[in-house]
Amino acid sequence: MGTTDVINPSTGEVFTTVPSLGLEETDAAIDRARKAFGEWRQVSPGDRARLLRRFATVVEENLEELAQLEVRNAGHTIGNARWEAGNVRDVLNYYAGAPERLSGRQIPVAGGVDVTFHEPLGVVGIIVPWNFPMPIAGWGFAPALAAGNTVVLKPAELTPLTAIRLGELALEAGLPEGVFQVLPGKGSIVGQRFVTHPAVRKVCFTGSTEVGKSIMAGCADQVKRVTLELGGKSANIIFADSDLAVAAAAAPGAVFDNAGQDCCARSRILVEASVYDKFLALFETAVRDFRVLDPASDLSEMGPLISAGQRSAVSSYLDGADLAFQGSTPAEAGWWFPPTVLLASSREDRHWREEIFGPVVSVLPFRDEAEAIELANDTEYGLSGSIWTRDVARALRVSRAVETGALSVNSNSSVRYWTPFGGMKQSGLGRELGPDALLSFTDVKNVFLATGD
């Protein structure tokens, strides 16, 4: 077993190390999960619900510790980190209500009685990205556990600390050994073993579209189930009849939150041509006022990028681009990058088409509703997006026409744990969260009982 250095992106300095599991340790953990499954699935629905509620309570009791870990490990602002830890608590509480409501159906048939059951799959492997380590972990393990599965979770190599702590808190809450395990290590070893190990019956992956495709291809060999939440290049569509001041004030947070390292980032702003200049003036004020500070500060709205490599990749998109304006960054060590606004000369611009995963947004005018829809859909992605208009009929028309999984009208929200979340096209496969997520961690079994009629 090796080790991995953990680096604070605000300073660029190593501040701790964590284990990095090899193939042998990974197989041993999967075997423990396989053995624990037999007992966990037999835990009564009420008792499983009580254990999940207890897990949520223990997360709440350690919320500040989890948040501070994320500030140091991922460079998240303290406000965001507290929300993220709270989201884990809330998702656990939400799915704690599921075991006692995971009911099948009685289907009318001739000659007997027909009933269905939702059976847990077995071991579920969850691969978590570095951009939102806590909530995305919870979106996977909470419904999987509620449905009666056991879970092995691989955190990103860059951001393992909160996942490791959540694994410890699960044991403190009383979850049996082997039911929920966190396996830090390389994706090429631990994550790939989730794909190839026959005891892992489903893989949940959040990350790049390229890696997601390879995971999907690997799972096909065993007809293994997958849920994929992949890349995005979401559109923020601003119509002339909208409240421009509100839309412009909200736009920085929609793309620069978490330093733009968000698959749901509204990184393409489409503005109706008649108000293009007015919107840009309002937007410039909002961008320059956006507070990029030490993420430990309660005033900070944006922290650093996750790594030096990510900063270099983001910087490359400015080469030859039409720079409109930028915000500011602290004059200190760390992987900082200013909020940046680029003007797109056409839909072929690299910064307009590719997912940058940094605090860079592209702006392009459109003539009318039809062109706005065409531009919004002219991408391989379809994860999220926003529409700003006072016209309710237009809001409904455009919402139905835009090819994306989660849309907001006159807001920039993407995720509520009680509603479905997921992408269209190459942004993913399947849905997380909401009342139906539990079913994706089960198989439907049909049973016919002959009555001799």
**Active centre residues (catalytic):** 229, 263
Tokens representing residue 263 in the block: 């698959």
Q: For residue 44, how many other CB atoms are within 10 A of its CB?
A: 10
Element (H, E) at 444: strand 442-450
Sequence-ordered list of residues with C-beta below 8 angstroms from that of 370, at least 6 positions apart, any chain:
none
Paired with 115 in beta bridges are 106, 447
**Please, are residues 448 and 108 in contact by the beta-carbon 8 Å criterion?**
no
Q: Is 243 left (phi over 0), alpha (psi -120 to 50) or beta?
A: beta
**Please, are residues 252 and 246 in contact by the beta-carbon 8 Å criterion?**
no
Amino acid at 157: E
The 3-state secondary structure of 112-178, one letter per residue = EEEEEEEEECCEEEEECCCCCHHHHHHHHHHHHHHCCCEEEEECCCCCCHHHHHHHHHHHHHCCCCC
